[in-house]
Amino acid sequence: MQKVSEIKAIIIEDEEASRITLANYLEKYCPRVKVVGMAENIEVGRSEIELHQPDLVFLDVEMPYGNGFDLLEKLDSINFELIFVTAFSNYAIKALNMSASYYLLKPIDIDELIAAVERVSENLVSKERILPAQILKSNLHTAESQLKRIVLPELEGFEVAQLKDIVYCKANDNLTDFYFTNGKKKTICKTLKHFDEVLSDSGFFRIHKSYLINMDHVTGFKRGKGGYAQLSNGDELEIAIRRKQDFLQQFVS
């Protein structure tokens, strides 16, 4: 696949030692990346972005006086690729995974850094380029979880869907089948475990090792050993015995 010969990059990170370390890693292991600016906070970062018009921004999520997500809010448009850098944060990682954003966990692993830069390089020349940061920014503006969007990687591209349009997800080996309100089914290149972790705070519930359902599409419950969840598309899905009480608890105010 074609790749760009040079990638102009900016590093936005509050710790000077971390900025210098990342810059040194890029120089040694990702020579196509040319660091044209560095910033210690989001205000300086915004100025650097406007000055240099970078292809790529490395953005620390957790910073004093405004985090990386706050910077996205301040930008009128996002026409560059983003690689987020973060210490483990459950909220941040769920948000990044929903938008298919690239991120690196601290301390940065060199192999993961190289892989992230390679994916960015491919995106920069792709005719079907998607900017996950735009999806992320849109989701940050959306208070209602069912109106948020998720990027779903398929075998030959991707689909962007609103959560409200997903009825349920079904495990398919290392893939996941998504069932939508329009009757369509899509096979997505991630495991059901991945989507369980990403969507568990957005109205989705794992009723079985094979099923993750959108609780907004539950229309009824059918008795049985574990029981069955009846869904808006007419499907009835088995509930694991150990999940039955937790499922029923979802309907107790």
Which residue matches tokens 């997800």? 169
Domain 7-138: CATH architecture, name and number where available: 3-Layer(aba) Sandwich (3.40)
What does the mean pLDDT of the chain come to?
A: 92
Is residue 64 helix, strand or coil? coil
What is the rounded CA–CA span in Å between residue 109 and residue 6? 22
- 58 falls in which pLDDT band (50, 70, 90)? very high
Summarize pLDDT for 153-210 with one digit per residue, the tens: 887 778 899 999 999 999 999 999 999 999 999 999 999 999 999 999 999 999 999 9
- DSSP track, 177-193: EEEETTS-EEEESS-HH
- Can you tell me the mean pLDDT for 235-241? 97
Summarize pLDDT for 102-142 with one digit per residue, the tens: 999 999 999 999 999 998 998 888 755 667 888 999 998 89
Please state the domain extents for the chain: 7-138, 152-249
- The percent of residues in the chain predicted with pLDDT above 90, rounded, is 74
- The percent of residues in the chain predicted with pLDDT above 70, rounded, is 97
Cα–Cα nearest to 25, from 109, 82, 85: 109
What is the rounded CA–CA span in Å between residue 149 and residue 159? 10
pLDDT at 6: 93
Summarize pLDDT for 207-236 with one digit per residue, the tens: 999 999 999 999 999 998 999 999 999 999
Domain 152-249: CATH architecture, name and number where available: Beta Barrel (2.40)
Q: What is the pTM of this model?
A: 0.86
What is the rounded CA–CA span in Å between residue 3 and residue 58? 19
Asked if 135 contacts 149 with a C-beta cutoff of 8 angstroms, the reply is yes
